[in-house]
């Protein structure tokens, strides 16, 4: 069961250089997650406990998973990922056990970065309905809290959680000693988008006519994940045209195509 829901990767290949427009967030993650893994003696000598858990929140596709992976890369740690939704929906009745397993695997693989994506799936504000599904979610969350509380001897395991639904979270998980460091990971601004375009075209054969500042302006409101999709699609336009060089127009076409697709799926969803 474990193997099917947990993603375990030793020192994942994402680095801080692969992340654009999140300088401040990167610095905070380094201080709260990387420092305690790299130099635990600093904290014991100063006499303070490092933050237990860090919560990253913000819209989808903005680099939350990347940040967690980059810390694991930098500290040569094992990256262990599980999604909150999988904890409760994949194997009914197994949620609490999976949480125990998760922490056990982390301890066995120290130093480790434990990344719990979609934490809102197990830690949303209590609902009034008393369906069995809710009870299961409650048990899973209680197990997570108790693992975190009983984690004084957590050794070299750091916990990062992520959510797109900060407003839904149960305040219990934000209490001191739990996820008490909150880091907002927003969509990139103009400058961030320009950097992210540059990052994702690093290995692409782009023509000199490509203007990254203009691309950033064009792709207003795009997330990092959207920008990556635009770059790949621009490459596809070149290939369809039997070219190996990618021009500005390919990026413009790609952006239009991706926006049209998003409008389609929005329409389907509503």
Binding site for ligand ATP (CB under 6 A): 19-22, 60-66, 117, 162, 164, 196, 199, 224-225, 228
What are the start-end ranges of the H helices in the chain? 2-5, 23-29, 35-38, 40-46, 64-74, 84-89, 95-108, 132-149, 190-200, 212-218, 224-240, 248-269
Nearer to ligand ATP, 118 or 156 (CB): 118
- Name the residue whose CB lies closest to ligand ATP: 224
User: Would the annotation count 200 as a binding residue?
Assistant: yes
The least distance separating ligand ATP from the CB of residue 266, rounded to whole angstroms, comes to: 17
Nearer to ligand ATP, 120 or 156 (CB): 120
Nearer to ligand ATP, 65 or 143 (CB): 65
Nearer to ligand ATP, 18 or 253 (CB): 18
User: Would the annotation count 62 as a binding residue?
Assistant: yes
Strand-strand pairing, 53-57 and 112-117 = unpaired
Q: Please state, in angstroms and rounded to a whole number, the distance separating the CA atoms of residues 251 and 219.
A: 10
Helix axes 95-108, 132-149, angle to 10 degrees: 30
User: Would the annotation count 65 as a binding residue?
Assistant: yes
The least distance separating ligand ATP from the CB of residue 55, rounded to whole angstroms, comes to: 13
User: Would the annotation count 66 as a binding residue?
Assistant: yes
| Beta strand ranges found along 148-270 (DSSP E) | 157-163, 179-184
| Residues belonging to the chain | 270
Nearer to ligand ATP, 96 or 254 (CB): 254
The least distance separating ligand ATP from the CB of residue 191, rounded to whole angstroms, comes to: 12
Tally: H helices and E strands in the chain: 12, 6
The least distance separating ligand ATP from the CB of residue 132, rounded to whole angstroms, comes to: 28
The least distance separating ligand ATP from the CB of residue 196, rounded to whole angstroms, comes to: 4
The least distance separating ligand ATP from the CB of residue 33, rounded to whole angstroms, comes to: 15
End-to-end CA distance of the chain: 35
Q: Please state, in angstroms and rounded to a whole number, the distance separating the CA atoms of residues 204 and 215.
A: 15
User: Would the annotation count 63 as a binding residue?
Assistant: yes
Token digits for 159? 């916990």
SS (H, E, C) 22-53: CHHHHHHHHHHHHHHHHCHHHHHHHCCCCCCE
Nearer to ligand ATP, 51 or 61 (CB): 61
Q: Please state, in angstroms and rounded to a whole number, the distance separating the CA atoms of residues 5 and 211.
A: 42
Neighbours of 247 (CB within 10 A): 18
Summarize the annotated binding site as residue ranges: 61-66, 200
Summarize the annotated binding site for ATP as residue ranges: 61-66, 200
């Amino acid at each position: 069961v474990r193997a099917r829901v947990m993603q375990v990767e030793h020192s994942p290949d994402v680095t801080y250089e692969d992340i654009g427009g999140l300088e401040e967030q990167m610095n905070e993650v380094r201080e709260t997650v990387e420092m305690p893994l790299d130099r635990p003696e600093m904290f014991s000598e100063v006499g303070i406990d490092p933050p237990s858990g860090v919560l990253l929140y913000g819209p989808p596709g903005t680099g939350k998973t990347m940040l967690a992976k980059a810390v694991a890369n930098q500290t040569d740690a094992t990256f262990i990922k599980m999604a909150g939704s999988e904890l409760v929906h994949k194997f009914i009745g197994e949620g609490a056990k999976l949480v125990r397993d998760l922490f056990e695997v982390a301890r066995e693989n120290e130093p480790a970065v434990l990344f719990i994506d979609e934490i809102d799936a197990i830690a949303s504000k209590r609902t009034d309905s008393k369906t069995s599904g809710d009870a299961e979610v409650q048990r899973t969350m209680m197990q997570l809290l108790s693992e975190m509380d009983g984690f004084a001897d957590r050794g070299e395991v750091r916990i990062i959680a992520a959510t797109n639904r900060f407003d839904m979270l149960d305040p219990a998980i934000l209490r001191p000693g739990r996820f008490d460091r909150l880091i907002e990971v927003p969509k990139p601004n103009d400058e961030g988008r320009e950097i992210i375009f540059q990052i994702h075209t690093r290995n692409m054969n782009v023509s000199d006519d490509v203007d990254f500042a203009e691309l950033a302006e064009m792709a207003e409101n795009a997330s990092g994940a959207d920008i990556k999709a635009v770059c790949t699609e621009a490459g596809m336009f070149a290939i369809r045209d039997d070219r190996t060089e990618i021009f500005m127009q390919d990026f413009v076409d790609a952006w239009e195509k991706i926006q049209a697709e998003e409008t389609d799926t929005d329409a389907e969803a509503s």
